[in-house]
Structure 1
Amino acid sequence: MKPKILAIIPARGGSKGVPGKNIKKLAGRPLIAWTIEAAKCSQYIDRVILSSEDPQIIEVAKQYGCDVPFTRPKELAQDDTSTMDVIMHAIEQCKDFDYIVLLQPTSPLRTVEDIDGCIQKLIENKADFCVSVTEAAKSPYWMYTMNNDRMSPLMQQEQMKTRRQELPVVFALNGAVYVAKTEALLTEKSFLNERTIGYTMPQEKSFDIDTVTDFKICEYLLADNNNDAS
């Protein structure tokens, strides 16, 4: 029997880094539209919903075919509101789904192939949690903390490795796709634990928009992709 899968797109108003970020035009369409359209093309996802308190974001999401079954309460749209609280609220409103997919609108370079690849990996591995990651651009083995200008290695090593090829490959969360069994997510209240598996995405698709510079980089890459496709 095919599992029922719910995709949740959380998008509140009041962005500080990029004002009006979620509906700001990116390569010709609102930022949130890139995520909605990718999710709607999924072969696995049964329902794509928006969680937002903002009337403008809600209206734009509806224009692009996203389901908006509720308006998020204002108390769940504060600067200190956790994404997990938003997810738990959405699950309460939309019951009877076997799996939950979290798709943040700040990852516009993520494609339907990435979404379905992450879902498929979770199902094939019979895992409870799967999240998208990318190979870290900077190795933590070459990172330091500083105290009164004195440098201390973040990760202790018997001998400092000077060649990147000698370092272990490390991965970072890229924020693009999070998938979980609903029952496990309700219990753990996190996508990350010792049972989480990773779905690898390339760095060029792993931009998470937080600043105006991030926005400009994604705009350039999307425009370049469109030129290649035409």
Structure 2
Amino acid sequence: MIEGKTVLAILPARGGSKGVTRKNLREVGGKPLIAWTIEEAKKSLHIDKLIISSEDDEIIQVAKAWGCEVPFKRPIELAQDETPGIEPVLHALKILPQYDYVILLQPTSPLRTVDDIDACLEKCLAFNANACVSVAAVTENPYWMYTISPDSIMHKLIETNNYFTRRQDLPKVYKLNGAVYVAESEWLRKNKSFLSNETMAYIMPWERSVDIDSESDLFNLKIFLSDYSY
């Protein structure tokens, strides 16, 4: 609870991932990938209820073993490749409508910390925002990117009168890192997205913004963890 408001945290974890087979259960640093998120979320000062949304019996059992609640099994029709990511969240809010705020924590962001989770929520309330999501600075700035026409002519991706010759002069640009999504529950039911022209940004460092979307991502994470102690 925070400022008298109740908080529901949701871990979406379907079994049919394609980029990394059974990625939510893959071992990373001696434990299933999903356990990294569960452990950090359980340390939160504000989360009242931490649940998993999954259609997969094995994932459900592993989540339970690591201390995550499973109040329902996700309908199979909400666990398809083409299912929009917001649908499992809206489904959970229908079953558990009593919470003032909802946090979406994707298991594919294992290096996000409890400090990131709580700070994103705290920022949302401090600014009386409807939503706040985590972002990270891009490593390749789009102001130095081009499209190429059929006749091989280069065109600026972002049209501007400025010509930036030094990296230090480039405008700062950020991207969603997928780690933390926070929203006021009723607003989210109406907006059906965490993103709008009202959404605030919580900036996370690049080293904690790992997003597992491929086998190479998983391999690189294991290498990273073998070099550094977490």
Partner in structure 2 of residue 22 of structure 1? 24
Between the aligned partners of 1:50 and 1:210, the Cα distance in structure 2 is: 19
Between the aligned partners of 2:228 and 2:113, the Cα distance in structure 1 is: 12
Between the aligned partners of 2:43 and 2:226, the Cα distance in structure 1 is: 21
| Pairing 1:195–2:198 present | yes
Partner in structure 2 of residue 166 of structure 1? 169
Partner in structure 2 of residue 128 of structure 1? 130
Candidates 84, 87, 90, aligned match of 2:89: 87
Which runs of structure 1 show a deviation greater than 4 angstroms over 4 or more consecutive aligned residues?
A: none
What SS class does the counterpart of residue 165 from structure 1 fall into? helix
Q: Which amino acid aligns with 1:193?
A: S
* Structure 1 position 14, deviation (Å): 1.4
Between the aligned partners of 2:122 and 2:226, the Cα distance in structure 1 is: 29
Q: Within 5 A, what are the aligned runs for 1:1-230?
A: 2-148=4-150, 149-226=152-229
Aligned residues: 227
Per-residue CA shift, 1:102-141, capped at 9, x if unaligned?
0000000101011011011111111110000111111110
Q: Is the 8 A contact 1:109 1:218 kept in 2?
A: no
Superposition CA RMSD, Å: 1.2
Between the aligned partners of 1:39 and 1:224, the Cα distance in structure 2 is: 25
Q: Which amino acid aligns with 2:222?
A: E
* Structure 1 position 101, deviation (Å): 0.1
* Structure 1 position 216, deviation (Å): 1.6
What SS class does the counterpart of residue 157 from structure 1 fall into? coil
What SS class does the counterpart of residue 228 from structure 2 fall into? helix
Question: Unpaired segments of 5 or more residues in structure 1?
Answer: none
* Structure 1 position 189, deviation (Å): 0.8
In the superposition, the TM-score normalised over structure 1's length comes to 0.95
Q: Which amino acid aligns with 1:54?
A: D
Between the aligned partners of 2:8 and 2:217, the Cα distance in structure 1 is: 28
Question: Unpaired segments of 5 or more residues in structure 2?
Answer: none
* Structure 1 position 157, deviation (Å): 1.9
Q: Which amino acid aligns with 1:154?
A: L
* Range with greater deviation from structure 2 (146-155 or 52-61): 146-155
Per-residue CA shift, 1:153-183, capped at 9, x if unaligned?
1101224212111111111110000000001
* Structure 1 position 94, deviation (Å): 1.1
